[in-house]
Structures are given as C-alpha cells and as structure tokens.
Structure 1
Amino acid sequence: MSEILVGTCAWTDRALVGSGWYPPGRRDAEGRLRHYAERFPVVEVDSAYYALPRARDSRLWAERTPEGFVFDVKAFSLLTGHPTRAAVMPDGLPADPRDPKVLDAVWARFTEGIEPLRAAGRLGGVLFQLPPWFRPGRRAGAFLRECAERTAGWPVSVEFRHPGWWRPEWAGATRAQLARYGMAAVAVDMAQTLPSSIPPVTAVTSPRLSVVRFHGRSPAWGSGSKEDRFRHDYRDEELAEWVPRLRDMAGRAERLHVLFNNCCGAAAVRAAEAMRRLLAGQDPAPAAEPTRTVR
C-alpha cells in the first residue's frame, strides 16, 4: 500500500487562527507553519487561487518544514476559468483568460512562484479546481489538453464542480481523458442532497497521485456565507466509511493525499487528526483538551 498523507486545505485560515488551535508563541507566520508541519505531512496552499504565489514565499515554506512535508498548490483562479480581480493580476494585465498573451504571462508567473517548492521536492501536486459551469464537452477537452501541455512533468489533480463529469454517460470518458494526460481525478466528500452535488467517485486516473478532498456536508453548499458552506464537524462514522475506500485508492497510486476543506474554526484539523487515527487503526476520538479562545 502506498503512502497516505492526511492534512487540511489551509493553515492560515482566519477561523483556524482564531480558534486557539495554534498555541501562544506560535501564532506568527513562521510559528504557525512549523506547528502545523509537526502534526501533518501535507497541506494545501489555497491562497494561490486568490493571488499568484511568490517564489520568496515558496522558498520560506520549504525551509520552515521538515523533510518529506509537501504542499499541494491550488491553481490561480484565471488559470481555471474563474472570475479574477484586476487588483491581483501581475503588471497591470487585464483579467482576460481569452487573451493568449495574458495567459502566457500568468502561467509564467505561476510557474515561477511554485518553482522553489518543485526544486526542493516539496511540490505534492497542483490542484485545478474547475468551476461549476465547466461542463464536459469539446471545449472542456481542449482546455484540459492545453493545461496538460503547460504542466508537463508536474503532479496535477483535477476537481470537477459540475456533476455531469461523473454521470454514467460521461464517467468513462472523464476517466480516460484524465488518464491520458496523467492527471489525478479528485474524489470529493460533500452533501449529496443538492442539484450540484458531486458523487463520491473514487476513480484513480494517475499512478503517481490520487487526491480526496473533504468539503463537509453542509446543505448550504453553493449558497450562503463561506462559514455556512463549510460548517460541518465530521462524525467518527462519517470518516470511518471512507477508510476502506482510501485504502483501496492507496493501493492503486504511489501516493494518496487526503485533505479536509471544512475550514470553519478548527473543524478541519480535528477531522484530519481523527482520520489519521482511523487509518492507523486507533480510536478516532481520544480525550481532547478544551478549545482555547483567542481574545
């Protein structure tokens, strides 16, 4: 069985910082990352979706974490077809993904920003989370092909937000296309009662990497505030039902990343800690210290 790395989709989230999970003396940028990396082997850099990553930051992240710790970097919004604020575009470029010169410049800046992680062997993967209006079809196929060409050699994972990709009439083609490009299909856990719900398909499409992201099971997914969408504390039985699936996926890829995105307070780190214990065959819910409140 391959290595299963469990972590969360952020370590600087305001709600996590305010939850008291970081102890006194470790609440600055360096202290937070060191504290996190002492407890988990992987983390997702979700900030790279909102603003292009900087090489200086990537270099510091590699220096402040132990050997073997890896970062999954979320692709910048413009590169995944999401609306992008002009204020975060480099060199005053317009936020126009249809302009080839803009795309070339943004891809170059993104590549430069994550290069220190790749050079240090700390780039666990690059996540392309595609928008809910990104439907399967010819245009989507061309987008994935171009993405594969630009990321040649990188470990890449793709999360679809339109449920059509995993419906019976498209699921086989989806698997085949991702496998052709060596991209990992991201499996998701989320509420299954909504029209936009993505089924928990555990397709393994790359021998190199497989990824599962736990979004929580809030029925407010797709509406309401961020806190409403991600407010979910996983119960032990909800996590336990995934253990055999995760072990099966780990048997089909070199490495499996399990990331919790229910980033509301300390819910994600608690769920990640519980999942690690479950995978190790331990009690998922040992006696915990009371949550400290930062004032």
Structure 2
Amino acid sequence: MGEILVGTCSWTDRALVGSGWYPAGRRDAEGRLRYYAERFPVVEVDSAYYALPAARNSRLWAERTPEGFVFDVKAFSLLTGHPTRDSAMPGGLPAGHRDPKVLDEVWARFTEGIEPLRTAGRLGSVLFQLPPWFRPGRRTGVFLRECAERTAGWPVSVEFRHPGWWNAEWAGATRALLARYGMTAVAVDMARSLPGSVPPVTPVTSRRLSVVRFHGRSPAWGTGSKEDRFRHDYSESELTEWLPRLHALAARVDQVHVLFNNCCGTAAVRAAETMRRLLDTSTPRSPAG
C-alpha cells in the first residue's frame, strides 16, 4: 500500500496569509513554511506558474522543511501554452515571440530553478496543467512528446482541463499516451454540472505516483475572480466519498498526493486537515462501481 500525502496548492496564498492561520512569530517567509511543514508532508508551488522559480528559493525550501517533505512544482505558464506576461519573462525576453531560442531559454531557467529540489530529493512532481483549449488530438500529443523530451528524468504529472480527454471515446488513448511517457494522470474534484467539468476519474498511468487536486465545487468555475472560482468549503461527506478512490490509488502506486486548491482563506488547510483525519480513521476498500 502506497503512502497518501495530503496538503494544499499553496502555503503563500494571500488569503491564507491574511487569515490568521499562521501564528504570531511565524509569519515571515521562513516561519510560514516551517509551520506549514510541521502540519503537512506535501505542498504545491503554484507561484512557479506565474514567475520562473529561483534556485536560491528552492535551496531554502529544501533547507526549511523536514526530511521526506516534498514539493509539487507547477510548470511556468509559457511551458503549458498559457498566456504569459512579458514582465514574467527572464531578461526582457518577449512572451509572445515565436523564436525557439526564447522557449529554450525559458526551459533552461525553469530547469535551473527547480534543480536544488531535485538534488535534495524533494521534488515530488512537476505539474503541467494544460489549458481548456488543448483538446484531444494530435496537437497535444505532439506537445506531450516534446515535453517528455525536455523533462527526461523528471517526475511529471499532467492535468487536462478539457473534459474530452476523459470521455468514453478518448479515455483509453489518454491513459496510453501518458503511460508511454511515464507521466502521472492528475485526477480532479470540481463542480460536476458545468460544460467544462472534468469527470472525477482516477486513471493510473505511472506506478510511482498519483495526484488528486481538489478545486472546490464552485459553480463559478471558469468565470469571475479567483475567489469566485475556488470558493468552496468541503463538507465531511464530500471528502468521505473520495476515500475509496484514494485507497484504491494507494493500492496501485507508491505515493498519492492529495492537494486542495480551494485557496480562499483557511478553506484549503481545513479541508486538508479533515481529509487526513478521515484517511487515518478509515478502512481501505474498493470504490463503488
């Protein structure tokens, strides 16, 4: 039975920092991370999506967390086909420029930034969250092949935001595609009645790792502000329904990362705490259906 590590998709989210969850004396950069790592064994570095990670920060993160703590690093936006601000680019490089040398430089900077985590054995996964306009088909297949070449030797996980990847027509091909490159399929929990809802499937495409990201069940997914999209307080019953799936994943892989992305105030850390308690007191059993 593999380990199930539970955490959140950020420890620096502004709403969390301002919520009072971090106690007095633990609210500086070092104190926050150490406090978080005393309570959870895994965290997602969401800031790497918005700005290229710095090697110095990665070294400090490894130094400030206990042995066994791991970081799932979200890939920089340009590397996943998302719009990227010019101000986030290194050395004044233009985000919209098509010169392959620009992309090469961004890959090099990203690789350099996460290398201290890899060297320290603290890199849980690099998450490639693909945008909803990446539909099933040859284009994304080519993208993943090129991504696999760039990330050889890395632990990689992939989250599809277009629901078509997991419908009856494409699910088998999607599993095979990710398995071919040794990439982990990311399962998601979200509102299930929206046109863009991704179904709560839990395919295993790598024996090493499975990742489940809980986005909340806001009906404003895909619209409105960040707070509107991710505002959701998970009930105990909503989390309990996932227990059979999580135990089933743990029976097939070495490690499962359960990450809460409903980052509004303390909602994510409270949900993570509840999920850990439920897992600690539940009996592994097969999911219904």
State the TM-score, normalized to the length of structure 2: 0.96
Equivalents in 2 of 1:260, 1:160: separation in Å? Answer: 17
Q: SS of the counterpart of 1:118?
A: helix
Give the 5 Å matches for 1:225-240.
225-240=225-240
* Superposed displacement of residue 91, structure 1: 1.3
Equivalents in 2 of 1:144, 1:96: separation in Å? Answer: 20
Q: Equivalent residue for 1:195? A: 195
What's the % identity of the aligned pairs? 84
Partners of 1:70 and 1:122 within 8 A in 2: yes
Q: Equivalent residue for 2:67? A: 67
Q: Equivalent residue for 2:285? A: none
Letter in 2 for 1:199: P
In structure 2, the CA distance between the partners of 1:222 and 1:115, relative to structure 1 (3 Å rule), is same
In structure 2, the CA distance between the partners of 1:97 and 1:277, relative to structure 1 (3 Å rule), is farther
* Superposed displacement of residue 98, structure 1: 3.5
Letter in 1 for 2:166: W
Give the 5 Å matches for 1:26-175.
26-96=26-96, 98-175=98-175
* Superposed displacement of residue 96, structure 1: 3.1
Q: SS of the counterpart of 2:185?
A: strand
Q: Equivalent residue for 1:292? A: none
The count of aligned residue pairs is 282
Equivalents in 1 of 2:127, 2:196: separation in Å? Answer: 20
Letter in 1 for 2:178: L
Q: CA RMSD in A?
A: 0.8
1:254 and 2:257 equivalent? Answer: no
Q: SS of the counterpart of 1:187?
A: strand
Equivalents in 2 of 1:70, 1:266: separation in Å? Answer: 21
Letter in 1 for 2:75: A
Q: C-alpha deviations, 1:119-152, integer Å up to 9, x for none?
A: 0000000000000101111111000000011111
Q: C-alpha deviations, 1:28-81, integer Å up to 9, x for none?
A: 000000000000000000000000000000000000000000000000000000
Q: Structure 2 unaligned segments of length 5 or more: list them.
A: 283-289
* Superposed displacement of residue 93, structure 1: 1.0
Letter in 2 for 1:255: Q
Equivalents in 2 of 1:224, 1:149: separation in Å? Answer: 36
Q: Equivalent residue for 2:245? A: 245
Partners of 1:96 and 1:102 within 8 A in 2: no
Q: C-alpha deviations, 1:85-112, integer Å up to 9, x for none?
A: 0001011111137421111100000000
Q: SS of the counterpart of 2:213?
A: strand
Q: SS of the counterpart of 2:117?
A: helix
Equivalents in 2 of 1:6, 1:171: separation in Å? Answer: 26
Equivalents in 2 of 1:99, 1:130: separation in Å? Answer: 21
Equivalents in 1 of 2:98, 2:181: separation in Å? Answer: 23
Q: Equivalent residue for 2:13? A: 13
Q: Equivalent residue for 1:219? A: 219
Equivalents in 1 of 2:191, 2:6: separation in Å? Answer: 21
Equivalents in 2 of 1:155, 1:252: separation in Å? Answer: 17
Q: Equivalent residue for 2:286? A: none
Letter in 2 for 1:86: D
- Compare 101-110 and 91-100 and name the one that shifted more: 91-100
Letter in 2 for 1:61: W
Partners of 1:239 and 1:275 within 8 A in 2: yes
* Superposed displacement of residue 281, structure 1: 0.5
Q: C-alpha deviations, 1:216-243, integer Å up to 9, x for none?
A: 0000000111111111000000000000
